[in-house]
Amino acid sequence: MTTLLRTPTAWPSVLLRRDRAGRGRGRAGGLLADPAAALDAAVASGAFEGLKRAVRELGPDGTIAAVASSRLRGRGGAGFPTGEKWRAAAAVEAPRRYVVANGYGADPSAFTDRVLLESDPFAVLEGLAIAAFAIGATEAFIAVRAEDAEMVRRLEAAVGAAEEAAFLGPDLLGSGRDVTVIVRPVQGAYMLGEETVLLKALEGRRGQPEQRPPFPTERGLFGMPTVVQNVQTLAAVPWIVVNGAAAYAKIGSKASPGTILVQVRGPARDGVAEVPLGVPLRDVVALGGSPGSGRKLKAVLVGGPSGGLLPPELLDTPYEFDALRAVGAHVGSGSIVAADDRACVVDLARLLTTFCANEACGKSIPCRIGTRRLVEIADRAVEGRPMPTDVQLLEDTSADIVASGLCDHERLATLPLASGMRYFRSELDDHLLRSSCPAGVCRPIAVAAGATAAGAAK
Amino acid sequence: MTFIPGLGIVKGMASTLRRFFEPKATIKYPEQTPDQSPRFRGRLQLLYDEWGTLKCETCFQCAQACPIECIDMGGVDTKGRYHVHWGPPETYGERREESALRRSGRTVPDRAYERFESIDLVAVDEILDENDHDPKRMLQILEGIQDAYGYLPVAAIKRISFKTGAWYAFIYGTASYYRHLRFERPADAVQVAAVDQHRPSEEAYVARLDAALRGSRRRARKVH
């Protein structure tokens, strides 16, 4: 059994290999066959120690204070301080409160959340129980991908075993608080990774984001205060409660301590790894191996489909929330894709923007129409029939979308093209001004540039 | 007869003065409407053209549109070949015909909304029972119905709306959002393919990302 995030000091880490369908090794053994035995084994290796300590020693306020002073930040991509979120939800007067664990893992090419839920479901459940106990929630949801039916069954078995052992359910560890955990498989939209969209899906409604404020901590699921956390954040909580906030704050970078799961997709290897936040991007990319002979690294896509394309010169950027935002990328799904010189940056940016535009929910106009315009600009660039105003239009449209967006999806959807324009301007100019593709990927319309003779000779 | 100069104008002005204080017959038309029966359409009259022939072409549009079915008419068609008639038998048959409705400016029933295929609703009711008829469990209800029928029939959505009290539009909006829920019968392969074209799958994205990283757009093109 691999204990991801439970021992957040393991670095350099190893890649957990997964096949393309997302199935991997490193599963908690025998969970489906005998859940109780699997739970006993997990408890013997330290699971649910944090919950016991939170309930018996710290109490709700003490737990929130511990999490807040560890400066743990949400692993869902935005990096919002977890302690602050819990404090806000606990402060609101309400008849009910909810905790939602977001294990959807929207990025189709990243398996980080799925790997965590398979390898150590009890860590997530423990974090969920601690969060529910701390803010006084009675119901907790785990939203997972319905496509992975076996993982759903395993998670349900784990919840059942934990309820049998009274780690969850009514009268949690004799504290007098009830925490009912409901596993809710969801599927069918990329946007479900966004917190308000996920809440809509749990309410059985069309998945469109809500304007903030009010934040979900104030008015979330069924109008009640709700804490939405990524499963990785929750899995990190037990260690903090057991070992103390000061110990956790020592790991990783100063502003964002702790470790995080990344999906590395390199030229030689790909898989999920656990890295401390703040390590240079270079070290993370190195996990995926070096490009083959004669090839060199051209760009690194950081953050999934809406991530930024960073040039090799920026590989010394620390892998953490603020530094990545500053250079025009983001942690996002934790996906890190290395592209060598076979790939064309403009083609790649077009692919990513198209995906983001297709997955737009259509609620806000800057998103629905603005991303469509970005795709059209990218299409024109790739097909070699650019318009003279395209560079200016790209800048203006991106700025407008960022300024008027409703949720993070559209603001981040501008990143591939915006970062491509920022760092790979010469390659974009080749497309837009000279109708040629240096990588030879896009169909160069040589005709447009007046080189018909060369084209005909081929 | 004595001639008194100015008497005529005085008489005339007297008449004007009298009329001045009488109630006015003029109404401010668009603001005020004349007191008329709401169905009044003016006098029925057949008009003649400048050569003295009837302008009426016996098109029956007036007869079809007549709300109280008072027009009964007959004549010959415009080429002078056939005797045509419009009366009660035609009225009741033809005025409900689609193009007649359209010509008389009435709403034409849309096939798409008019009727839907009826299905055996037992499975729908069972699924609703399992989910407590709770609109908050709409996704589970819809997924259950898709499992049972292979798609989401309109009749099933109407049934959910009727039993749970959720609006039809609410259910339709939820169902149309999620990629795995569909309204097309799996047997209608053409329709399914047409819809899937606009719903790129996640696997397609991953495959395209792989291809882009290998720069293989070029290689695919060379095949042609």
Contacts of B203 in chain A (CB under 8 A): 108
Q: How far is A416 from chain B (nearest CA, A)?
A: 13
Q: Return d(Cα B160, Cα B182) in angstroms, integer.
A: 16
Minimum mean pLDDT range among A20-24, A262-266, B65-69 = A20-24
Q: What are the helix (H) ranges across A216-271? A: 231-243, 245-250
Ramachandran region, residue B60 (left: φ > 0; alpha: ψ -120 to 50; beta: rest): left
Nearest Cα residue to B159 out of B149, B151, B168: B168
pLDDT greater than 80 at residue A450: no
Query: Do A205 and B170 count as a contact with CB atoms less than 8 A apart?
Result: yes
Q: Return d(Cα B60, Cα B100) in angstroms, integer.
A: 9
Q: Return d(Cα A271, Cα A269) in angstroms, integer.
A: 7
Q: How confident is the model at residue A451 (pLDDT cuts 50, 70, 90)?
A: very low
**Res A229: pLDDT:** 94
Q: How far is A169 from chain B (nearest CA, A)?
A: 21
SS3 of B67-105: the string is CCCCCCEEEECCCCCCEEEECHHHHHHHCCCHHHHHHCC
pLDDT greater than 90 at residue A311: yes
Q: Return d(Cα B138, Cα A11) in angstroms, integer.
A: 45
Write out residues 139-158 of B within 8 Å (CB-CB) of A: 139-141
Tell me if A303 sits within 8 A of A256, measured CB to CB: no
Q: How far is A411 from chain B (nearest CA, A)?
A: 20
> How far from the centroid of its chain's Cα atoms is residue A374's Cα?
23
Q: Return d(Cα A72, Cα A85) in angstroms, integer.
A: 11
B136, B176, B217 member nearest A204 (Cβ): B136
- Best residue of B136, B198, B202, B216 to probe chain A, by most A CBs closer than 10 Å: B202
What one-character-per-residue DSSP string does A203-219 give?
Answer: TTS------SSSPTTTS
pLDDT greater than 50 at residue A24: no
Virtual CA dihedral for B160, B164, B169, B171, nearest 10 degrees? -60
What mean pLDDT is reported for chain B?
A: 81
Q: How confident is the model at residue A21 (pLDDT cuts 50, 70, 90)?
A: very low
Query: Do B206 and A203 count as a contact with CB atoms less than 8 A apart?
Result: no
Is residue A226 classed as helix, strand or coil in its secondary structure?
strand
What are the pLDDT digits (tens) for A345-363? 999 999 999 999 989 988 9
Angle at A138 between CA A132 and CA A142, to 5 degrees: 65
Q: Return d(Cα A331, Cα A260) in angstroms, integer.
A: 10
Question: CB of A337 within 8 Å of any CB in chain B?
Answer: yes
> How far from the centroid of its chain's Cα atoms is residue B66's Cα?
20
Q: Return d(Cα A181, Cα B79) in angstroms, integer.
A: 82
Q: Does the reported pTM lie above 0.90? A: no
Helix, strand, coil percentages, rounded to 5, for chain B: 50, 5, 45
Residues 6+ apart with CB under 8 A from B36: none
Pairing of strands A335-340, A259-265: parallel
> For a pLDDT cut of 90, what percent of chain A falls above it?
40
